[in-house]
Amino acid sequence: MKNFIKKNKNKKFLFFEIPLLVESKLLSFFDVTIFIKSKKTERKKKIYVKKF
């Protein structure tokens, strides 16, 4: 994560997808947290699309 931030430090916005953000105690490093809820079947569809 630190390398990504250094590499993109001139960008106005940075987006991270971190499934265990709260559990890994990284929440304090971010200004805004957005939670997107979806059904498990929808998540699976998106995962499979990315693989192909």
The token duo for 3 is 């390398």
21: exposed, middle or buried (C-beta count within 10 Å: 0-12, 13-18, 19+)? middle
pLDDT of residue 39: 87
Give, for all 52 residues of the chain, the pLDDT tens digit: 788 889 999 999 888 877 778 788 888 888 888 888 888 888 777 766 555 4
Q: Residue 6 in 3-state DSSP?
A: helix
Q: Is the pTM of this model over 0.85?
A: no
Q: Are 2 and 16 in contact (CB under 8 A)?
A: no
The token duo for 38 is 């979806």
CA distance 38 to 31: 23
